[in-house]
């Protein structure tokens, strides 16, 4: 079953075509990797999908519903949530309270079910020992998990992750990969934007590649890394690190 479909989505900022005629679909239970150089349009495409921007043209369907131009809180209720490249938890609140906000507002749950959901999600992403710490006081890898937890707590079945592993060390990346697999196994579909090729290759069922706003390739991980256009546009300098991984 298709959980997300983008049809010829374009987004212009003045004369700049940040996203150009991008089409792709995300199947239920799938992890789709999205890669491309800085400025390729990945975050802008996410922002179109989530409703931060209304695309200049094209259509977006979430769980079969046309969400093109819908506001983010409505898109969230239809089943889609995003973590940010820039983390922005409410620093004066505890980790638990931050996740609870996701369940109460994003998921529109009542306090009882929201608290229960929050406990479950905190367990799922391994945040138990931090639950009652202020989110302003927790280290970066833990804040990354908090971002994930807030998105999951909304009840969305599709999660968009924008460089959620940036700044993590190799051991923390391994832990984060395990968490993503658990999240997928709990029934979510994910799109993962990440520069760390070991992550993208290790976790993606399929990969799409953006360059200058356009989709230049799509396929299985091994197809994409051997694609000439992808090597030229993006992977050139990354291939050596891939061979190590």
Ligand X SMILES: Nc1ncnc2c1ncn2[C@@H]1O[C@H](COP(=O)(O)OP(=O)(O)O)[C@@H](O)[C@H]1O
Catalog residues that contact ligand X under the rule CB under 6 A: 13, 16, 18, 36, 38-44
Judged by beta carbon, residue 42 or residue 150, the one nearer ligand X is 42
Residues 178-203 as b or e (16 or more Cβ within 10 Å = b): ebbeebbeeebbbbbbbbbbbbbbbb
Residue placing its CB nearer to ligand X in the complex, 3 or 47: 47
Cβ of residue 75: shortest distance to ligand X, in angstroms? 18
The option from ligand X, Mg ion, none interacting with 39 (CB < 5 to 8 A, set by class) reads ligand X
Which residue lies nearer to ligand X by CB, 122 or 207? 207
Q: Dmax over Cα atoms in the chain, in whole Å?
A: 53
Q: Which residue is closest to Mg ion by CB? A: 43
DSSP conformation class of 157: S
CB of 159 to Mg ion, least distance (A): 16
User: CB under 8 Å to 148, separation ≥6 — which residues?
Assistant: 83, 125, 159, 161, 164, 179, 183
Cα–Cα dist 95/128, whole Å: 9
- Residue with smaller CB distance to ligand X, 40 or 142: 40
Based on CB atoms, which residue is closest to ligand X, 95 or 199? 199
The enclosing H or E element of 192 equals strand 189-193
Q: Which residues bind Mg ion (CB under 5 A)?
A: 42-43
CB of 4 to Mg ion, least distance (A): 18
Closest approach of Cβ 38 to ligand X, in Å?
A: 4
Residue 38 near which of ligand X, Mg ion, none (CB within 5-8 Å, type-dependent) = ligand X
Residue 29 interaction partner, one of ligand X, Mg ion, none, beta carbon < 5-8 Å per kind: none
Alpha-helix residue ranges (DSSP H) falling in the chain: 42-50, 72-78, 95-101, 111-124, 140-153, 170-185, 197-203, 221-225, 228-230, 239-244
107 binds, among ligand X, Mg ion, none (CB under 5 to 8 A by kind): none
- Given ligand X, Mg ion, none, residue 157, with its beta carbon under 5 to 8 Å by kind, binds none
Q: Which of 1, 9, 13 is nearest to 46 (CA)?
A: 9
Q: Checking phi first, is residue 58 left (phi over 0); if not, alpha (psi -120 to 50) or beta?
A: left
- For the CB of residue 230, give the shortest distance to ligand X in the complex, in Å: 14
């Amino acid at each position: 079953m298709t959980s997300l479909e983008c049809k010829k989505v374009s987004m212009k900022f003045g004369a700049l075509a940040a996203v150009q005629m991008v089409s792709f679909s995300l199947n239920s239970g799938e992890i789709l990797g999205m890669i491309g150089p800085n400025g390729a349009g990945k975050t802008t495409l996410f922002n179109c999908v989530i409703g931060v921007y209304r695309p200049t043209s094209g259509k977006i369907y979430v769980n079969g519903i046309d969400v093109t131009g819908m506001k983010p809180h409505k898109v969230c209720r239809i089943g889609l949530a995003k973590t940010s490249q820039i983390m922005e938890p409410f620093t004066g609140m505890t980790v638990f309270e931050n996740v609870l906000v996701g369940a109460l507002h994003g998921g529109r749950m009542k306090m009882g079910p929201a608290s229960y959901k929050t406990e479950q999600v905190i367990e799922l992403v391994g945040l138990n020992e931090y639950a009652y710490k202020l989110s302003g006081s927790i280290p970066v890898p833990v804040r990354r998990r908090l971002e994930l937890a807030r998105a999951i707590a909304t009840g969305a079945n599709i999660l968009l992750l924008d460089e959620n592993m940036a700044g993590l060390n190799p051991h923390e990346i391994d832990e984060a990969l395990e968490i993503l697999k658990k999240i997928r196994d709990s029934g979510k579909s994910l799109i993962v934007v990440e520069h760390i090729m070991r992550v993208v290759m290790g976790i993606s069922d399929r990969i799409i590649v953006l360059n200058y706003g356009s989709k230049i390739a799509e396929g299985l991980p091994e197809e994409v890394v051997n694609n000439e256009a992808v090597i030229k546009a993006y992977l050139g300098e990354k291939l050596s690190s891939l061979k190590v991984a």
